[in-house]
């Protein structure tokens, strides 16, 4: 069992105390201590003492057989909800930015859409971050160069244009008709999180 657990992603363990082998309670205690894994205990014995021991051991919930499957589902949902809040205490904080269906994680340097990762080079990442942090306002090539590299302006520098193009290919539904990263002719670029037509 330990081997299985170490090789797989497990969200929650439902422990049947009536199963043979290592004592269910000690398994549970170990799982909780080492991996902080959510646990629901099933038991045929409905005696109160057992239930109390199970909960004190650290299980998150306790159900006695026979049980209603719908109740088990409800309890699983309840435990997982609590648990996800534990895993991502700071998910809602500053280091995750979103636009349209995309998510940019500033800590991981990772862009994803529908849970699927989209690889960005470090230049693309930097540019996207700047656009997200200054959305809905026109950014000139000068200020973009300034923010990305601290450059002074060179009048024939096209590097921003090229990088914008590369970014568009990764985030725009149709790079020809940008909805997030639009050109403001004669001035620069503007980014809008919701994606204008």
Partner DNA sequence: ACAAGATGTAACCAATTTGTAACAGAATTA
Partner DNA sequence: TAATTCTGTTACAAATTGGTTACATCTTGT
Closest approach of Cβ 91 to its own copies, in Å? 11
71 binding DNA? (CB under 7 A): no
Binding to its own copies by residue 190, rule CB under 8 A? yes
- Considering only the stretches 19-27, 67-75, 100-108, 117-125, report the one whose residues sit in contact with DNA under the rule CB under 7 A: 117-125
Contact letters (x/-) for its own copies, 122-161, by CB under 8 A?
xx------------xxx-----------------------
User: Pairing mode, if any, of strands 96-99 and 188-191?
Assistant: unpaired
The least distance separating its own copies from the CB of residue 191, rounded to whole angstroms, comes to 11
3-state secondary structure the chain: CHHHHHHCCCCCEEEECCCCCCCHHHHHHHHHHHHCCCEEEEECCCCHHHHHHHHHHCCCEEEECCCCHHHHHHHHHHHHHHHHHHHCCCCCCCCEEEECCEEEECCCCEEEECCEEECCCHHHHHHHHHHHHCCCCCEEHHHHHHHHHCCCCCCCCCHHHHHHHHHHHHHCCCCCCCCCEEEECCCEEEECCCCCC
For the segment 20-39, give every residue that binds its own copies (CB under 8 A): 34-36
Residues interacting with DNA, by CB under 7 A?
119, 121-124, 141, 148-149, 154, 156-159, 161-166, 168-169, 175-176, 183-188
Q: Which residues bind its own copies (CB under 8 A)?
A: 3, 6-7, 9, 34-36, 48, 51-52, 55-56, 58-61, 68, 70-71, 74-75, 77-78, 81-83, 85-86, 89, 94, 96, 98, 100-103, 107-109, 114, 121-123, 136-138, 184-187, 190, 194
């Amino acid at each position: 069992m330990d081997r299985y657990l170490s090789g797989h992603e497990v969200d929650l363990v439902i422990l049947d105390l009536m199963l043979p082998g290592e004592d269910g309670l000690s398994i549970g205690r170990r799982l909780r201590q080492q991996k902080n894994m959510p646990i629901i205990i099933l038991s045929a014995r409905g005696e109160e003492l057992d239930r109390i021991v199970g909960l004190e051991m650290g299980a998150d919930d306790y159900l006695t057989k026979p049980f209603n499957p719908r109740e088990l589902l409800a309890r699983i949902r309840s435990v997982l909800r609590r648990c996800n809040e534990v895993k991502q205490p700071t998910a809602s904080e500053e280091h995750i930015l979103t636009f349209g269906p995309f998510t940019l994680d500033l800590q991981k340097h990772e862009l994803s859409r529908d849970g699927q990762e989209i690889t960005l080079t470090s230049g693309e990442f930097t540019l996207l971050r700047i656009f997200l942090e200054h959305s809905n306002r026109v950014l000139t090539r000068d200020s973009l160069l300034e923010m990305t590299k601290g450059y002074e302006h060179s009048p024939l520098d096209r590097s921003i244009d090229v990088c914008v193009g590369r970014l568009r290919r990764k985030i725009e539904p149709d790079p020809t008709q940008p909805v997030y990263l639009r050109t403001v002719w004669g001035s620069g670029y503007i980014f809008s999180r919701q994606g204008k037509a």
